Amino acid sequence: MKVGFIGLGRMGAAMTRRLIEGGHEVGVYNRTREKLKDLIALGAKPQDTIAAAANFGEAVFTMLADDAAVMDVVNQPGGLLASLRKGGIHICAGTHSVASIQALTRLHADAGQILIAAPMLGRPEVVTSGQAGMVLAGDQQSVESCRPLFTAIARRTFEGGADPVASAAIKIANNFVLGCAIEAMGEGFSLVRKYNVVPHVFYEVMTDGLFACSAYKVYGKLITEERYQPAGQRAVLGLKDANLALEAGGAVGVPLPSGNVWRDRLIGAVAHGESEHDWAVMAKDQARASGLA
């Protein structure tokens, strides 16, 4: 298939690589053209405008950092809303608020266009290795027509149904559970360190028993080694995710008390100048609060 791709940060670049390796022709656009060099070397076709990327192929992906960025790409003069043909498909792969996905669904529908929400599950390196997941929701005929694209990117897809909001809710809830797990690990590591336990021993106890899964192994290792750079998921984006979860809960009357702790640990890390560290750095903020070096 031919497909456009807008937003070539670490995640977008990893997804584009998977598409090219899967035999698809990808037209790429990024505000910072410097980020396209490696992808062009792999065979990606550079596009000069959002409109060109939008009409390069049978659909166009966006992988953008936040609500403001995706709304700008959609609504600006020459953006997706103005450029996509009738029946054109926007595959929104970023992590966005429920409210923004609801708004995008309405905007595209009013313009005779289609929104598929397809947030990724996994860090960029997991996407690169072909082990990531995707949550798909939107017009089912359009989802099926784009299936080869999703198959090229992800090991498994999860079907959220016809309403794109379902994908947003699932991704937000998944990030909520993961973020709270990392925050709780930070508390656990601080507790054992206060009793002079070597962190690696606690890590082995966790990951050889009830918590023998990738979330605890990957993030537990980062915390054990205090290795917070380079970031897989930056703390500042983790903070965005925490706020998305609390906003989504508040909108439907679901209290998320653990989410407040998760958010506050990230706020502490950002306040200490660690916004570009991996979001596991919230364990370092917990250590500071515990009187540890």
In CATH, the number for domain 170-289 is 1.10.1040.10
Type and span of the H or E element at 6: strand 2-6
Topology annotation, domain 2-161? Rossmann fold (3.40.50)
Structure confidence by residue, pLDDT tens digits, 213-267: 999 999 999 999 999 999 989 999 999 999 999 999 999 999 999 999 999 999 9
The answer to whether 96 touches 68, Cβ cutoff 8 Å, is no
Phi and psi at residue 210, to the nearest 5°: -70, -20
Q: Within its chain, how far is the Cα of 285 from the centroid?
A: 23
Q: Using pLDDT thresholds of 50, 70 and 90, give the confidence band for residue 117.
A: very high
Catalytic residues: 171
**pLDDT averaged over every residue in the chain:** 97
Domain boundaries, the chain: 2-161, 170-289
